[in-house]
Amino acid sequence: MPDVLLSENINGEAVKALSQRFHVTFLPDLWKDPPALLRCIPDFRALIVRNQTQVNRALLDAAVRLEVVGRAGVGLDNVDVKAATERGILITSTPDQNAISVAELAIGMMLSLARRIPAAHEDTRAGNWNRQRFCGTELHGKTFGIIGAGKIGYLTACRAKAFGMKILAYDPYLSCDNVYLSELAGELVSLEVLLERSDVVSCHMPSTPETAGLLNAGMFGRMKPSALFINTSRGEVVAEADLAEALRAGILAGAALDVRAKEPPTAGVLEDAPNILLTPHIAAFTDEAQNRVTRAICEDIARVLDGQPAQNSVNRVSKN
């Protein structure tokens, strides 16, 4: 009888180890075919997903044997936790395991934008030698604003601090005596103040009804024309057409996005916007982070299937 279904591309040593103890079915493209997933889910005790498989109420209702869903990564926007809890299905995830990699990409994006590295590279590859054209901006002494001061926001701010930047944070759920923020001599401010004072704004909040489209024309209008905008959190937090317009109108100097409102995106307004840097949701895609994430989720799934408590459950379910 099958035990574990992997409906996205999750592999490595930890999956092999899990396969030695349980019957594991690896169907990395299944997330693209929700009716097929719905047909096969009744057979499984555990489901492991990334952020593409829609673990919605209909799927959970059909999952008659399912005990646990493992979300390999952070962010539960594709998992209906309420429906899972009502059905007694445990949800586990892997907080912390990819945070350093995401922070490193955010910093890479900041450096790329401030020094126009991708544009200078393309121009030089084309046979040019335009030194004046690629005069950039120094980061030392500038202000780095994080929207969402959780794990990734903090790790990104630590790295920005190492460049000699001042730290501002907006997070409605953080108190101003937060120890991590104090460590960075960071200042907790309103969103409006953060946008007005920051030279670089980096988003690290979750996708929620409250954050949907939070960064829109009105908010971009508050930023300095020299400011850089970075989003490695979730695409839904940005009104993409407003961002493209802000770049075209020179309201913002540059933007970098790892995440999009729809993934993969249909070619739209952003691809042609000036001073934009786009990556295909790769912030957590380093060998190190993926190994940690896969190991953490496989170990938690094994614990649950063995009748042990999960280490990183996000809901509480009662056992019959």
- As given in the structure block, the two tokens for residue 209 are 């009804």
Q: Which is nearer to ligand NAD, 98 or 143 (CB)?
A: 98
Q: Is 150 a residue that touches ligand NAD (CB under 6 A)?
A: yes
Q: Is 74 a residue that touches ligand NAD (CB under 6 A)?
A: yes
The distance of closest approach from Cβ of residue 193 to ligand NAD in the complex, given in angstroms and rounded to an integer, is 13
Listed residue (3, 93, 68) closest to 296, CA to CA: 93
- Catalytic-residue membership of 295: no
Residue 143: helix, strand or coil by DSSP?
strand
Q: Is 149 a residue that touches ligand NAD (CB under 6 A)?
A: yes
Residue 24: helix, strand or coil by DSSP?
strand
Alpha carbon dihedral 238, 268, 254, 162, in 10-degree steps, equals 60
Q: Is 228 a residue that touches ligand NAD (CB under 6 A)?
A: no
Listed residue (165, 164, 153, 182) closest to 227, CA to CA: 165
Among 98, 202, 290, 312, binds ligand NAD (CB under 6 A): 98
Listed residue (120, 171, 175) closest to 147, CA to CA: 171
Specify the stretch interacting with ligand NAD by CB under 6 A; choose among 10-18, 181-189, 265-273, 281-289: 281-289
Listed residue (38, 40, 77, 81) closest to 61, CA to CA: 38
- Out of 45, 71, 116, 281, pick the active-site residue: 281
Listed residue (105, 86, 80, 4) closest to 45, CA to CA: 4
The distance of closest approach from Cβ of residue 255 to ligand NAD in the complex, given in angstroms and rounded to an integer, is 15
Q: Is 234 a residue that touches ligand NAD (CB under 6 A)?
A: yes
Q: Which is nearer to ligand NAD, 22 or 285 (CB)?
A: 285
Q: Is 173 a residue that touches ligand NAD (CB under 6 A)?
A: yes
Q: Is 243 a residue that touches ligand NAD (CB under 6 A)?
A: no
Among 148, 236, 246, 251, binds ligand NAD (CB under 6 A): 148
d(CA 169, CA 190): 8
* C-beta of residue 247 within 8 angstroms of C-beta of residue 273: yes
Specify the stretch interacting with ligand NAD by CB under 6 A; choose among 38-46, 62-70, 169-177, 217-225: 169-177
* C-beta of residue 188 within 8 angstroms of C-beta of residue 268: no
Q: Is 12 a residue that touches ligand NAD (CB under 6 A)?
A: no
* C-beta of residue 254 within 8 angstroms of C-beta of residue 226: no
The distance of closest approach from Cβ of residue 244 to ligand NAD in the complex, given in angstroms and rounded to an integer, is 20
Residue that the structure tokens 């009105």 belong to: 218
- Out of 13, 263, 271, 288, pick the active-site residue: 263
* C-beta of residue 123 within 8 angstroms of C-beta of residue 178: no
Q: Is 71 a residue that touches ligand NAD (CB under 6 A)?
A: no
Positions touching ligand NAD (CB under 6 A) are 73-75, 95, 98-99, 102, 147-153, 170-174, 204-208, 210-211, 232-234, 258-259, 281, 283-284
Q: Which residues are catalytic?
A: 234, 263, 281
